[in-house]
Amino acid sequence: MSSQHIFANGRGRLSGLLIAAWTLAAVTGAQADTNTPPAITSLTADQTVYEGDFVTLSVTATGTGPLSYFWSRDSVNQPLLTNSVVTLGSVTTNNSGAYQVVVSNAFGTATSPASVLTVLPGVPRILVQPQSQTVVEGSLSAVGVTAVGNFPIYYYWWKDGQLLTNVSVSSILWSPITTNDAGVYQVQVSNVLGTVTSQLATVVVKPNTPRQLRTTTITVTNGAATVSVPIQFAAQGNESLLSFSLQYDPNVLGQPAASLAAEAVAALPNASFTVNEDETALGHLGISVALPAGATMPTQTFRLADVQFTVAGPDWAQGRLDFGSSPVALLANDTTGAALPILDFIGPVLRTAPMPAAADPQSGLFRQQITLINPGAIKMDGLQVLVHGLTNDTLGQAIRVQNATDSTNNVPFVFYGPLEPGAAANLNVEFYVADRRTWPTPDYEPQIVPPRIYTATGGILFTITAPRYHNGTMLVEFETIAGRQYYIQYADAISPGTWKTAMPPISGTGSRVQWIDNGPPKTESLPADQTSRFYRGLLMP
């Protein structure tokens, strides 16, 4: 543990459940001497919130442990508030007041100054705005808002400026979505105390068709000075013309140069290849491929073009690539000139770290880090990374992905999402090898998928106590029943709807098991990247 941080386990009470929690709090100076009375070093500042909010009060104190904490409000003891960090759930105006805490140990006490909490009446307030999104026709999609305020709360949705009289709830669910659902959405949230209007959210719906224009594996060369973007086309046998514009941030990617790929030269004899550079200063490069009159493309997928850029900015992934229609329209035509539907997308980039030379001595697992990068301008709601190529070890037992989120067609995968434009995420893929010495040789295949939220319901919640923090990860232990299934749920703050379910579930062995939170794909982020994290367990029927 570094000298700049102190680790503390705590337990907060929520709806009668004990929740294991951890916090990192900065401290200065040396550790407290033996037999030292408490001294308060920091206290939550005054807060002004609204009815329905969740409020956290915290104190940091030094002194010989163990330390005890007793909170009061307006000099009235609060018997349920007995930790260094406490959470008040869904506050009302009755929770307003001056909060103080007395910290005590065997050698004395220390009383904090007052921290004043002011709770304002519950006028509507939007916590999560509706988000713009780009989805594929036929998928499950939704646009929604999260709001708080005095009940009842009313929702009024508009699409393209027109009131939707058939929608009166907090979200619109499309099952499935169609191209007619594309548009600009906005919601008005009201109660008897007031009204608030959300931001605009643009929903783009692309056609669901096997005719696809996409990027494949983007490579960085010349010491990260050059980026090569291969463009692939899945033709359906009736295309005579294909055109598109590749858009990018010219402050990050510069000097584009495009050429017809060797695969396209072989697949499209006598095709004309035209590059339009009229708008490169704006970050637009136009490309057209036209066949002779009456000729069509073969029904196959081939590498169509290669585009190279110099890297002008510090991070090439911030170039935010996208397909567009300026200066050249995004379209495919048949031999009569009729338009054909086409699905376009910028594919994710996957990088892999070397496989370790040996299994981890504590867990017995081979752990390989993979990095997912979104080089596009559109948020990737979900990514599943299929893991192919696993074999048997020297004992004849199959090598398996220990932390696989799920499987599809018997192929395991790990899931992550969303991944914002230009962002990268590190995932740890864990392999169980019975003989502990056969190297796994995975072949990864990233795929863009709709958003997924993994939830577990119907089980019995139980306490997880004394999680242990080590090198940015968290270790929790609990007793299990053989043959039963368990889920770990976690939250970075105790507030409505914040509990998330870690995947995959845990199979009970009849003895004590260990579970490590080492970030994605089990959880959305590393514990070390958060100021607090809470855990609870769920025993399934």
State the residue for tokens 């062995």: 509
Q: How far apart are CA 147 and CA 53, in angstroms?
A: 10
* Residue 66 DSSP class: P
Q: Strands 171-174 and 141-144, how do they pair? A: antiparallel
CATH number at residue 323: 2.60.40.680
In this structure, the answer to whether residues 471 and 487 fall within a common structural domain is yes
Instruction: Give me the torsion for CA of 231, 234, 239, 241, rounded to 10°.
Output: -10
Any domain includes 501: yes
Distances (CA, A) of 56 to 6, 87, 263, 522: 19, 5, 60, 26
Does one domain contain both 485 and 442? no
- Please report which helix (H) or strand (E) contains residue 266, including its range: helix 262-267
In a domain, 169, yes or no: yes
The pLDDT, as a whole number, for residue 23 is 41
Q: Please give the pLDDT value at position 468.
A: 84
**Is the alpha carbon torsion for 334, 337, 341, 346 positive or negative?**
positive
CB-CB contact of 539 with 486 (8 Å):
yes
Yes or no: say if 452 and 415 are a contact pair by the CB < 8 Å rule.
Answer: yes
In a shared domain, residues 227 and 324? yes
Residue among 209, 242, 271, 268 nearest 329 (CA)? 242
> What pLDDT is attached to residue 16?
29
Q: Give the position of tokens 């997924």.
A: 452
Neighbours of 135 (CB within 10 A): 24
DSSP 343-360: EEEPPPEEEEPPPPSS--
Residue for token digits 């929690």?
21
Residues 375 and 322 grouped into a single domain:
no
Rg (CA), the chain: 28
Collapsed DSSP state (helix, strand, coil) of residue 529: helix
DSSP letter for 445, please.
E
Same domain, 48 and 87: yes
Residue 157 lies in a domain: yes
Structural domain span for residue 301: 212-340
| 476 and 516 in a common domain | yes
The 3-state secondary structure of 169-235 reads CCEEEECCCCHHHCEEEEEEEEECCEEEECCCEEEEEECCCCCEEEECCCEEECCCCEEEEEEEEEC
**pLDDT for the residue 497:** 65
Alpha carbon distance 541, 538 (integer Å): 10
Q: State the CATH number of the domain containing residue 413.
A: 2.60.40
Same domain assignment for residues 356 and 326:
no
Checking 73-77 for CB contacts under 8 A at 24+ apart, the result is: 73/97, 73/98, 73/99, 74/98, 75/100
CA-to-CA separations, 162 to 102, 146, 191, in angstroms, rounded: 57, 21, 21
Residue 34: CB atoms within 10 Å: 7
CA–CA separation, 498 vs 489, rounded Å? Answer: 10
Of 63, 92, 120, at which residue does a domain stop?
120
pLDDT score at 495: 63
Alpha carbon distance 412, 330 (integer Å): 36
Residue 455 is assigned to a structural domain of this protein: no
- For residue 273, what are the β-bridge partners? 289
CB 404 within 8 A of CB 412: yes
- Same domain for 170 and 225, yes or no, is no
Instruction: Give the chain's domain count.
Output: 5
> Residue 102 is part of a domain; what is its CATH number?
2.60.40.10
The answer to whether residue 16 is domain-embedded is no
What's the longest Cα–Cα distance across the chain?
94
Query: Do 363 and 436 share a domain, yes or no?
Result: yes
Closest CA to 287 of 344, 207, 348, 217: 344
Which of these, 58, 56, 23, 21, lies nearest to 40 by C-alpha position? 58
CA distance 519 to 197: 36
Indicate if 524 and 426 belong to the same structural domain: no
For the chain (541 residues), the mean pLDDT of every run of 10, in chain order, is 27 33 35 76 92 87 92 90 85 90 95 94 86 91 89 94 95 94 97 94 96 95 90 98 97 96 96 97 98 96 97 89 97 97 96 93 90 95 95 96 94 95 95 95 93 83 78 88 93 75 93 92 89 87 87
The partner residues of 205 in beta bridges, in order of sequence, read: 135
Q: Please, which residues bridge with residue 366 across strands?
A: 431
Structure tokens at 392: 């048997």
Domain boundary among 178, 206, 234: 206
Q: What integer pLDDT is reported at residue 416 of this predicted model?
A: 96
Amino acid letter, 347: G
Q: Do residues 349 and 407 make contact, with C-beta atoms less than 8 angstroms apart?
A: no
474 part of a folded domain = yes
306 Cβ contact list (under 8 Å, min separation 6): 228, 229, 230, 231, 258, 259, 261
- 242 part of a folded domain: yes
End position of a domain, from candidates 308, 323, 340: 340
Residue 158, strand partner residues: 163, 186
If asked whether residues 150 and 249 sit together in one domain, one would say: no
Query: Residue 446 carries which side chain, given as an amino acid letter?
Result: P
C-alpha neighbours within 13 Å on the C-beta side of residue 296:
15
Q: What one-letter code names the amino acid at 380?
A: M
Residues 289 and 365 grouped into a single domain: no
Could you tell me if residue 429 is inside a domain? yes
List, in sequence order, the alpha helices (H) in 95-183.
none
